Structure 1
């Protein structure tokens, strides 16, 4: 029995997974800064290996700038941009892509070492392999997103941005859950209570709100209707409909902002009710109660931060903070959903 208890968990593997999760969180933050500075289209080619080397000479910089000058964003938005200004947006995008490569290496190299040393609990191999595949897919989706803004658009397609960001947050949550499993080992006994469903529901609601926020970001919808709680003094945005169901859901600035606001109200109420109920419960462990309250607190703070970000017309600092707190709220919800299932 002692051998089993030791073989189904590894604190070293858990620390590694938490470290990778921290890198993914950093990549989400840098990705947010890249979007807010309109830097994502500054590199017009996808070179997974050689792209890690930035321009090293004046000729290299002029070539990279010449390639950027061929796309609609430069021609319609940034015409006349100086080379020095281009270097600023280039470094943001290059840093984002470099961090993606670092995340891949930080996952793959320790995985091989732990596997060779047989330190990985056997039950986690399939899950870790899936995480590695999804991480590689994230790189492809990132380029698929960028490619949408290189020929006909001046920015990336909002739905592709949503897929890209959604997968990043899914990877973050999966890394946190798997790290907790590696740290604590297989659950010997689970709670036969409604709390597992409540915690998972809260986690899913937070994730859906993140996706709705990605549509707001992809449509620059935070730059319109900057009063609150109204929309330019009205209860409903004038430009809600956009010529079709999908066009409205994915491309209408008024619609995506309305949906994000309404879902925020729902999420905040649910989070507060669950947090309050968990705190008063005689059934939950103290750790579960604290995680429930922390998740509710993060959701409320995120709602207030979202209002401030909107009314300030999305300054870079507040925009980055809004995305960071969303990630923290999701991680807390994942930890709550994981912990509440255990005695």
Structure 2
């Protein structure tokens, strides 16, 4: 039988109290930090993939490899005969016969390396994902509830590879000098979706589960709703930008704020049937991209002003930074038009789009899981 102790009895200082862990504490298992570092590595690689893909498009290199060989294609031509075989295959497609018939083997090699680098970077991303996911899985280090999320990134990556070939194959048929612009939009759009998921998961893993559960109760619903709308609006503009890139619409009119000296560009509906103008008419597609950009800026400004009313300094800063980058992107977009989409400017415009996309997601996350500060700050 245990003896009764006086309430005034001193407790042995060397005796450590028993610590009980509840459900929340138990859910903190898994290598959250290591998984987060792995996701950051994937994030950097996907950004590099988008950049190289943009340069591949700007240098008209995307059709230089006319076959899809997921395994064998990892190795470049190893001798003169292999190079000649690749060049012979390229000489059979309309892009060469109707546009690049002047090319010699040396010229072909320059565009080949861009496309080969783009495809191999995709293979490298797949390898890093597989090694990380299955490594963490076997070691039992994936945090509870995260297996499906991390596996989903791999599924999306595999789909992206298939869509990439679906895009390239559209440019190999008769009468095609480039890939279909709407397929390019799907390909780029999925890249941003993958990037968005990786960024969001990185934000989540940066805070422990207990903190996230508590923060979620303080969700700033109005700021979160506006950030969600801003995110979808920005994604729409990214897709329209891909349509612009797909048909070189950025070079069709190089004056601003007018287009060919007028508000609506001339010959905006010359293609029949009429609906094709919205995908294939360079003037109309650029016009839509411009108008959507203006509306996106207006919506982003509303979101920024609402975000500034947050009681939490982290949320206010997140909305402010995203809005400042939005201003930079608008200015850069105008400069891209005025320089006829000079490739240095165009690729910078694309990279700032990546930055803006992530910062909008960050503002959305800050509103969804606010970091509450005291009155003293």
Q: TM tier, shorter chain?
A: over 0.9
Which structure: greater helix fraction? 1
State the 1:338 CA deviation.
Answer: 1.4
1:59 maps to what in 2?
A: 81
State the 1:106 CA deviation.
Answer: 1.1
Matched-pair contact (CA < 8 Å) for 2:278–2:284: yes
Q: Does 1:290 align with 2:307?
A: no
1:155 maps to what in 2?
A: 178
1:233 maps to what in 2?
A: 261
Q: Alignment partner of 1:43: what SS?
A: coil
Larger Rg: 2
Q: Does 1:275 align with 2:304?
A: yes
In structure 1, what is the Cα distance between the partners aligned to 2:260 and 2:31?
A: 55
Specify which of 57, 60, 65 is matched with residue 38 of structure 1: 60
State the 1:154 CA deviation.
Answer: 0.6
Structural mapping, 1:1-343, within 5 Å: 1=22, 3-4=25-26, 6-7=28-29, 10-152=32-174, 153-186=176-209, 187-189=212-214, 190=216, 191=219, 193-241=221-269, 242-279=271-308, 281-283=309-311, 285-343=312-370
In structure 1, what is the Cα distance between the partners aligned to 2:29 and 2:222?
A: 31
In structure 1, what is the Cα distance between the partners aligned to 2:48 and 2:108?
A: 23
Q: Tell me whether 41-50 or 246-255 shows the greater mean CA deviation.
A: 246-255
Higher RCO (CA-CA < 8 Å; seq separation 6+): 1
State the 1:269 CA deviation.
Answer: 1.6
In structure 2, what is the Cα distance between the partners aligned to 1:201 and 1:282?
A: 17
State the 1:289 CA deviation.
Answer: 1.5
**1:92-138 deviation per Cα after TM superposition (whole angstroms, max 9, x unaligned):** 00000010001111111011111112221121211222211110000
Matched-pair contact (CA < 8 Å) for 2:329–2:352: yes
Matched-pair contact (CA < 8 Å) for 1:202–1:270: yes
Matched-pair contact (CA < 8 Å) for 1:309–1:318: yes
State the 1:193 CA deviation.
Answer: 2.4
In structure 2, what is the Cα distance between the partners aligned to 1:4 and 1:273?
A: 41
State the 1:324 CA deviation.
Answer: 0.4
Matched-pair contact (CA < 8 Å) for 2:64–2:115: yes
In structure 1, what is the Cα distance between the partners aligned to 2:235 and 2:310?
A: 28
What is the TM-score with the length of structure 2 in the denominator? Answer: 0.88
Q: Please list every run of 5 or more consecutive structure 1 residues that lacks an aligned counterpart in the other structure.
A: none
In structure 1, what is the Cα distance between the partners aligned to 2:295 and 2:31?
A: 38
Q: Please list every run of 5 or more consecutive structure 2 residues that lacks an aligned counterpart in the other structure.
A: 1-21, 371-377
State the 1:282 CA deviation.
Answer: 4.2
With over 3 angstroms needed to count, the CA separation of the structure-2 counterparts of 1:192 and 1:235, relative to structure 1, is closer
Matched-pair contact (CA < 8 Å) for 2:171–2:177: yes
Matched-pair contact (CA < 8 Å) for 2:268–2:283: yes
Aligned Cα root-mean-square deviation (Å): 1.4
Matched-pair contact (CA < 8 Å) for 2:27–2:144: no
In structure 2, what is the Cα distance between the partners aligned to 1:292 and 1:110?
A: 33
